[in-house]
Structures are given as C-alpha cells and as structure tokens.
Amino acid sequence: MKDELEKGIRRLEWASTHMKVLAEIRNRMVSERPLDGLRIGMALHVEAKTGMLAVALSEAGAEVRLASCNPLSTDDSVSLALRDHYGLEVYAKKWETTEEYYRNLNSVLDLKPDFLIDDGADLITMVHTERKGLINKVKGASEETTTGVVRLRSMARKGQLKFPIISVNDAHMKYLFDNRYGTGQSTFDGWMTATNLLVAGKKLVVAGYGWCGRGIAMRAKGLGAQVIVTEVNSVRAIEALMDGFEVMPMMKAAKEADMIITATGCKDIVGRRHLETLKDGCILGNSGHFDNEISKRALEDYAGKPRRVREFIDEYRFPDGRKAYLICEGRLMNLGAGQGHPVEIMDMSFSIQALSIEHLSQHYREMEPIVYNVPIEIDDYVASLKLKTMQVKIDTLNIDQRKYMAGWKEGT
Ligand code: ADE
C-alpha cells in the first residue's frame, strides 16, 4: 500500500513536471482563486495527467470530486495518491464492474456540482435522466471527447440539453494534437503493453479516418505496418488514399488483417460477418470511447466465452478452430493497457479544460443550453503558452502586412 502510494505520488510529480502550460495557468489560479466556493464534478480517465487537472482546479478554489469515465482506465496508484496525498475525493478503481462504475458517477453527482467536466458524456447524461433533480443546480459543463460531443449535440438539436456545454474537443489545441498525436502514440503504448508483439510487417487495419484514425495510421506506418484504412466518408477515404494507405470495405479488410484497430465512434464496426472471415490469430483492439466498436456479443455468440491468455488479452476460439484475440475487452486499449496520451499532449487538452471551466463560471448566465466551441482567445492563449514552454519563437506580421491581409486590392 505504501509502495502503491509512493508510486502514485511519483507519477503525479512526473506529470506535473512536464505539464508546463497547465503550470502557468495553475500559478495564476492559485493566487486569483477564480473558482472559489464552486463545486466541480469530474468524470475523466483517472490517471496522472487528469490528477494534475483536478489538483489545479482544487487549488483554484473549487471543491472537486472525481470518478472515472471508463471502468478500465484508472491508475490505482494515482487514485490512491490523489486521495491520501492531495486530499481529493476520488471514486475510481481499475476493472470496475458496470454497477461500480455508475455508483462512482453517482457519488460525484452527490456533491451537487455547479459544473461538470465529462469525457464521453455519461455524467452529463445522468443529470438529464436519473439525476434530474440536479438540473437546476448544474450551471454548465465541458466535454472532452468526440463521442461525448456527438451525443451532446444530438441532445441540443432535440432541445433536450438543459445547460450550456463547452466542447473542449473542438478546440484546435485539443483535437489537432490530442486526437491525432495523442491517440497515435498511446494506442501503440497499449498495443506494446498488451501484446509484446511486433508491428512491423503486419497488415494493420485502421477503422475510421477521423483525427484519431489518422494518428493511428500515421504511427502504424512509422512502425512498419502495411496499413489499410476503412471509412464510410468519401472525402476521408480519399484523404487516406492520398496519405498513402490502402482503402477498402471492412468485409475485404477483415480477410487480410493481422490486426484491426477501431477508432470510429460508431458501433458494430467488427461484427459477426467479419469474424467469419478473419485470419487465424487476428488481434482486435479499440481506441474509440465506447466498447461497442468490436461487437463482444458477436464474438461470444460465435465463439462462446473467451479465455484470458495475457493480462489484457482474451482469446476467442471459433467453431472451425480459428482464434481471434481481443485487447482490453474491447475498451480503449490506449488507457486500458497503456498509460493514456503522452503528458505534453494532455497538458494542452487539460489547459483548455481549466480555462473553459473558468470561462463557464464567469459567463454561464449569458449562455444558452447549447454546445459552444471553446472561445478562440482561449485556444490562441494555450497555443502561445505552449510555444513559450517549448522555447519556440515565431514571426509576427508588420503593420503593412496586416493592412495587406485585411484588404482586397490585388498586389498593393
Ligand atoms: N488521459 C486522460 N484523459 C485522457 C483521454 N481522454 N485520452 C487519452 N489519455 C487521457
């Protein structure tokens, strides 16, 4: 237990050392205390970088409660250290049952939070369904991920959203780096830990060519895989082709794949008809938010109960003797088996989060119950801080150039 606590403290320290943008924001917030007296309920992946966001918000004056937004993504050492060393209220452990998962989200909501920080929108959804009594208490929320934003935009379109949301996911300083370079690297962190197998020379199918899929395909290519992309969007399919990847339907790709990684945000990407044609030994993994991209029902219907063959790998045996392997029960492999996105990436994403919550706390009264983008000033500010922490300087336009860019007469 003492070793586990020490480990958690060190992991948080390591994250803190490398979250230089958040450190600048945190320093200001410690002295200004812009969140004094506010209660913030958080459902995020409980690991070191998230821990530092929670610490920053608490130092900014807020009372914070944290649960995990996924039953498999908690780093227990960090959870322990946040509780015992930093004195935060954390309700999360690795390998939660579905019941424990919802109990923990409910514990966060028992705080009666003023603001929510969500990843995947389960917490926000609960306030709109079984915890409706909190609707008048919650003043606004921020959402971290594509899947969550898709759900919340659907609620807003149907007029069902009851408080304003800031879509952190749509900030440039989030999706361009977190979704692409973050998922690109952390997916293979998960792959290496889960399988200890080689990527080079394998046929790797990436399902979905959104920002996450682009990142995964790019890194897979760098590791020596032969990459095949599947898509439903024609523009993205062309982009994948021109980025140098093969593009084909999943039905064809499944026959060729040594490994399939899903990152679509949609369900049943790998279903029964694909399983029937998979090559023996194919490894299936998911980096999308929910565990429904690779159909576990189809796997169990076809193969029966799996056998755990490594810490994060289940083996399914099909009636004809072929085997398929599923990483992390189809949950996000980058957090289930890996350590999540690299620290410097989450530094940017969580800086946007901290500033978005501050913005909500100042402006919620004028805001409608719709999904807002992160104000461009916050995006630009985080970009400038990031450059500063990287000690990179860039050019600026002179007055004449600014006039030229604002004008319309050619060549003057
Ligand atoms: N670490 C904390 N939150 C994360 C997220 N949404 N994706 C990857 N790593 C994370």
For the chain, give every domain's residue range.
2-174+341-389, 181-336
Distance CA 140, CA 276 (A): 46
Distance CA 81, CA 50 (A): 12
pLDDT at 409: 81
pLDDT at 2: 86
For ligand 1, is residue 19 a contact (CB within 6 Å)? no
pLDDT at 219: 98
pLDDT at 412: 60
- From 395, 382, 370, 322, select the one nearest 149 (Cα to Cα): 370
Distance 91 CA to ligand 1 centre (A): 17
Residue 46, by phi and psi: left (phi above 0), alpha (psi -120 to 50) or beta?
beta
For ligand 1, is residue 145 a contact (CB within 6 Å)? yes
For ligand 1, is residue 144 a contact (CB within 6 Å)? yes
Amino acid at 299: L
Distance CA 173, CA 373 (A): 12
H helical segments located in 243-375: 250-256, 272-275, 296-303, 333-336, 343-363
Distance 283 CA to ligand 1 centre (A): 23
pLDDT at 281: 98
Distances (CA, A) of 72 to 98, 125, 145, 146, 186: 10, 20, 17, 19, 15
Distance 260 CA to ligand 1 centre (A): 21
Distance 319 CA to ligand 1 centre (A): 37
Indicate whether this model's pTM tops 0.75.
yes
Ligand 1: nearest atom to the Cα of 145 = 6
Task: Please identify, in words, the CATH class of the domain defined by 2-174+341-389.
Answer: alpha beta
Distance CA 49, CA 18 (A): 10
Ligand 1: nearest atom to the Cα of 144 = 6
Amino acid at 54: A
Is 181-336 in the same CATH topology as 2-174+341-389? yes
For ligand 1, is residue 44 a contact (CB within 6 Å)? yes
For ligand 1, is residue 346 a contact (CB within 6 Å)? yes
Distance CA 239, CA 233 (A): 10
Atom 1 (ligand 1) nearest CA: 340
The tokens 């929320």 sit on which residue?
A: 141
For ligand 1, is residue 49 a contact (CB within 6 Å)? yes
User: In sequence order, what are the residues at sequence separation of 6 or more whose Cβ sits closer than 8 angstroms to the Cβ of residue 142?
Assistant: 115, 116, 117, 118, 165, 166, 167, 168, 353, 356, 357, 360
Distance CA 178, CA 170 (A): 11
Q: What is the mean pLDDT of each run of 10 residues along the chain (412 residues)?
A: 94 98 97 98 98 98 98 97 98 97 98 98 98 97 96 98 98 97 98 98 98 98 98 98 98 98 98 98 97 98 98 98 98 97 98 98 98 98 98 97 90 64
pLDDT at 165: 98
Which of the listed residues 118, 143, 349 should we mutate to test ligand 1's pocket, taking the one with most ligand atoms within 8 A of CB?
Answer: 349
For ligand 1, is residue 358 a contact (CB within 6 Å)? no
Task: Please identify, in words, the CATH class of the domain defined by 181-336.
Answer: alpha beta
For ligand 1, is residue 259 a contact (CB within 6 Å)? no
pLDDT at 1: 74
